[in-house]
């Protein structure tokens, strides 16, 4: 695994902005603009596209607003988003367990939905060595179906484990996208930009396509730091409700706009969905 070079002969590599608009925990009591239904997700997708996002990371809920892994509900949400933005956003579903689902159930819903992309927490689908074979077979199925997995890593130790699995031939992808999560286990879940340094330290495996998300009000600063080091970014109500100035964001599009503005002010350019797909396929 090698780190990506943030520059090319034609200038900086465009930065992909993903929006995570809802997550599995927050409700409208946390923010009235949190999108939960397919129609709300579609409207949010359109607004975030206009603000600079090229990917949307979605969770779906049951009738009581609780986290759900359900193929039919996912299909309805995907159809609504596609009707709103066509293929101008990559749609990534989550396989997150949230303490409710077992690895087999998480993988099964992905098999039923066959999304364009899926996020996978390494610690959830590979809780111990007894799950290695099933995890490797699932990744091989994703590869055969041309579904892009993004592996969620909470610690540098998980990055090392993923690299070790790759060295053993259990990862059937030459360049597997990963997401570094900052602040998930920090005090009050408030990330700061220097939290990223643990993932970029000497000896920690490097990944060709990596992104950063961050819990708390310094989200924009954290992801901008990541982009300046050659990564891509994910923002949204799943992890943060606040703008860089400390005010409550009106919606997810405002968070996307804040980060896209910071990236452009730093001399970086913003990728569209087709560019992200090409980066992944490369």
pLDDT of residue 5: 42
pLDDT of residue 26: 96
pLDDT of residue 188: 81
pLDDT of residue 132: 97
Q: Nearest 5 degrees, angle CA 163-CA 281-CA 154?
A: 35
Each residue's pLDDT, cut to its tens digit, for the chain (282 residues) gives: 433 444 344 567 999 999 999 999 999 999 999 999 999 999 999 999 999 999 999 999 999 999 999 999 999 999 999 999 999 999 999 999 999 999 999 999 999 999 999 999 999 999 999 999 999 999 999 999 999 999 999 999 999 999 999 999 999 998 899 999 999 877 788 999 999 999 999 999 999 999 999 999 999 999 999 999 999 999 999 999 999 999 999 999 999 999 999 999 999 999 999 999 999 997
7 part of a folded domain = no
125 part of a folded domain = yes
92 part of a folded domain = yes
Taking the CA atoms of the chain, what radius of gyration do you get in angstroms?
A: 17
pLDDT of residue 187: 72
2 part of a folded domain = no
- CB 214, CB 223: distance < 8 Å: yes
**Predicted TM-score of the model (pTM):** 0.95
Q: How many domains does the chain have?
A: 1
pLDDT of residue 140: 98
Residue 276 to residue 145: CA distance in whole angstroms:
18
Q: DSSP string of the chain?
A: --PPPSEETTEEPPBPEEE---TTT--TTT-TT---SHHHHHHHHHHHHHHT-SEEEE-EE-TTS-EE--HHHHHHHHHHHHHHHTTSSEEEEE---TTT--HHHHHHHHHHH--SEEEEEHHHH-SSGGGHHHHHHHHHHHHHTTPEEEEEESSHHHHHHHHHHHHTT----SS--EEEEESTTSGGG---GGGGHHHHSTTSPP-SSEEEEE-STTHHHHHHHHHHTT-EEEESTTT--B-TTSSBPSSHHHHHHHHHHHHHHTT--B--HHHHHHHHH-
Q: Which residues pair with 178 in a beta bridge?
A: 151, 210
- Containing structural domain, residue 34: 13-281
Task: Give the residue from 206, 274, 199, 214 showing the smallest Cα distance to 244.
Answer: 214
Here the CATH number for the domain that contains residue 163 is 3.20.20.70
232 part of a folded domain = yes
Task: Give the residue from 125, 74, 54 showing the smallest Cα distance to 280.
Answer: 54
1 part of a folded domain = no
């Amino acid at each position: 695994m090698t780190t990506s070079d943030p520059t090319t002969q034609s200038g900086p590599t465009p930065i992909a902005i993903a929006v995570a608009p809802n997550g599995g925990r927050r409700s409208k009591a946390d923010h009235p603009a949190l999108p939960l239904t397919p129609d709300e997700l579609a409207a949010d997708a359109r607004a975030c596209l206009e603000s600079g996002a090229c990917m949307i990371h979605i969770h779906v809920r049951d009738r009581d607003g609780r986290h759900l892994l359900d193929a039919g509900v996912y299909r309805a949400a995907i159809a609504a988003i596609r009707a709103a933005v066509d293929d101008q956003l990559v749609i990534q579903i989550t396989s997150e367990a949230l303490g409710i689902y077992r690895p087999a159930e998480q993988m099964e819903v992905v098999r039923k939905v066959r999304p364009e992309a899926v996020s996978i927490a390494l610690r959830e689908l590979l809780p111990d060595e007894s799950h290695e074979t099933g995890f490797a077979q699932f990744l091989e199925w994703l590869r055969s179906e041309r579904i892009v997995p993004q592996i969620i890593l909470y610690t540098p130790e998980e990055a090392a484990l993923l690299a070790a699995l790759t060295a053993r031939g259990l990862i059937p992808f030459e360049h597997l996208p990963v997401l570094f999560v900052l602040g998930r286990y920090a005090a009050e879940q408030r990330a700061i930009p220097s939290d990223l340094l643990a993932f970029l330290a000497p000896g920690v495996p490097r990944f060709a396509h990596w992104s950063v998300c961050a819990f708390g009000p310094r989200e924009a600063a954290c992801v901008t730091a990541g982009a300046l080091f050659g990564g891509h970014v994910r923002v949204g109500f799943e992890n943060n409700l606040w703008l860089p100035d400390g005010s409550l964001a009106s919606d997810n599009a405002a968070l996307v706009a804040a980060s896209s503005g910071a990236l452009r002010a730093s001399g970086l350019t913003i990728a569209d969905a087709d560019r992200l797909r090409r980066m992944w396929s490369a």
